[in-house]
Each structure stands twice: as C-alpha cells, then as structure tokens.
Amino acid sequence: MKLTGISDEAGTPIETQIRAHKELGWDTIEARFLSVGEFEKGSIHEIPEAAFALAAAKLKDAGVSVYAVGSTIGNWAHSIEDPFSITEAEIERCIDRMGKLGSKCVRIMSYAILQDADKRDLLEQHAAERFKRVREIVKRFSDAGIVVVHENCMNYGGMGPDYAREMIAEVSGMKWVFDTGNPVFNRDRNKPEPQPMQDAWEMYQVIKPHIAHVHVKDAIWHEENAHCEYTYPGKGHGRVRDILKDLSDNGYDGYISIEPHVSAVFHDADAADVDPDQKAREQFESYVRYGRELQDLISTL
C-alpha cells in the first residue's frame, strides 16, 4: 500500500498542499482543487492555463508528482440532464493536463442523483443515459492511456449496493475508487423507507473486485439530527481497519488517498463561516495528523 492524499484538504494554496505532503514524507498527491499566485481557486483541469503551468512548475520543483486527478467529471454538481458537451470539454481539458503532469488515474462519478424541490429522489434517474455517458468517458480516457476510477459517492453508482452492481454490469472493465466514509452518510436506496445509511462493508464487498484506488475517510452518522461527524481513521463507522486489513490480506498494492473532512468539508457551505486563518491552521494540522494516524493504523494490520 502506498499513501497519498487529496491535497486540497490540507489547504487551498498549492504551496500548502506540497508542504503537508513533504511533512508526511509523501512524494505524490491526488490533485483536485488548488490556488496559485493571484489566480482564484479552481479544479486542476479547469483553472486558466497560466495558473496550471505555474502550479505544475511548483510541483516539479518540489519533487512532487500527481498520481491521480480528482476530477469534477460527472460529479454531484453535474446533472445528467445537462448537455454532454459540458462533460466532453472537461474530458478534453483533463486529458491534456494529465498528459503534462504524467498522471495516469482519474476519478469520475455518474452524475448527481435527481431530486425534487423537497430533496426526494425522482423515480426517473435516466439510468440508460448515465451508462452511455460513463462508457464514453471511460473510452476517451482509456484511449489516452489513463485509468478511470468511479467513486461510490453522491451519484447514481453510489446510491446503494445494487446501483453499484448495475453500474459495474453496464460499464464493462471500469475500475473503482472505494471511499470508506461515503457509505456512512449516504442512504441505501435499495432499502424501503425509512432508508438506513449504507453499510460500508457491504458496499466494499460489491466494489472490491474492481478496486484500483482507495479513499480513506471515516465518520459517525447521527440520525437524530441528520449530522455527519467526521473522525480520524478507524474511529468511525466506515470499517476502515477491516477494509484496509482485507485489502492488505488480498495483496492490494495500489494507492490510498486520505480525504479527512475533519476540519475541511469540500462541499460544506458552512465552512465559509470559520475565521480563514484559523481554518487554514486547522486544515493543515488535521491533515498531517490524519496521515500519521493512518500510517500508524496500517502498521498494526
């Protein structure tokens, strides 16, 4: 097992991301969002070319490579009802940037879950269109020599074990990135109302034969107030220790990316209410601590 991290969780500036990984003794990152110089924060495949060139130079000078790109392609912010041309443009930019970085693994999803105004899932989820688009996404990246990994997150393929099975059956040969924490706060849409949260071990067993990458986060779900409490690895309900031990026992030798969420929740609007300097310190310190605690956990498997 090799360790890396979704580096924007350490902080937005690329310099901060590099510093956190250097402190952990890691020479790779999983790149997602970043800021550099006077340029605004953005996805590594969507920031202006000048910003990308500057960030790439800083990574090269620091001796840090980009193992994987956590793209926005088909993620929870993208609707299956949007034109596919949006995705196609993202793919083109992402392939170009990954080629310049020498990165060979890209995270995708299968578009947001369609809901009504009351946040209830719609019956029509346009499954056939999702499968068609994901097959095309996989083909285009594969033709460029890049491995596509689909994440069990807030998207169609992450709605429950049967949805994952369906995605696996419909998109032949696609690999997966299994996130240990995502089942903790995602309803199992295979179950009748009131739908419980997913079981991390059950979801893992479905995806296990297709895993090419792993994200580690951990959490405890509090049903009484619908609150997700993010924890350090092995201290929540994500079955982190059990899953990592099973991966180790079965010879998994790929990368594991930390995605702590302990002090920084990537898509949490409330995070903007925290004092920026305090937030930056907490993000960096908790990220480094998270990496060290995961190293300690793995050493005891």
Q: Which tens digit of pLDDT belongs to each residue from 109-121?
A: 999 999 999 999 9
Answer CATH for 2-299 from 1.10.600.10, 3.20.20.150, 3.40.50.2000, 3.20.20.80:
3.20.20.150
pLDDT of 49 > 70? The answer is: yes
pLDDT of 126 > 80? The answer is: yes
Predicted confidence (pLDDT) per residue in 171-211, tens digit:
999 999 999 999 999 999 999 999 999 999 999 999 999 99
**Is 170 exposed, middle or buried, given 0-12, 13-18 or 19+ CB atoms closer than 10 A?**
middle
The pLDDT of residue 270 is: 54
Tell me which of 23-32, 221-230, 275-284 is least confident: 275-284
Mean pLDDT to the nearest integer, 31-59: 98
The pLDDT of residue 104 is: 97
Closest CA to 178 of 192, 198, 194: 198
Confirm if 56 and 69 have CB atoms less than 8 A apart. no
The pLDDT of residue 274 is: 64
Q: pLDDT grade, residue 271 (50/70/90)?
A: low
- Of residues 250 and 265, more confidently modeled: 250
Closest CA to 138 of 96, 114, 107: 107
Domain range annotation of the chain = 2-299
3-class SS of residue 19: helix
Predicted confidence (pLDDT) per residue in 132-178, tens digit:
999 999 999 999 999 999 999 999 999 999 999 999 999 999 999 99
**Which residues are within 8 A (CB) of 269 and not within 5 positions of it... i.e. 6 or more apart?**
none
Q: pLDDT grade, residue 287 (50/70/90)?
A: very high
pTM, full prediction: 0.95
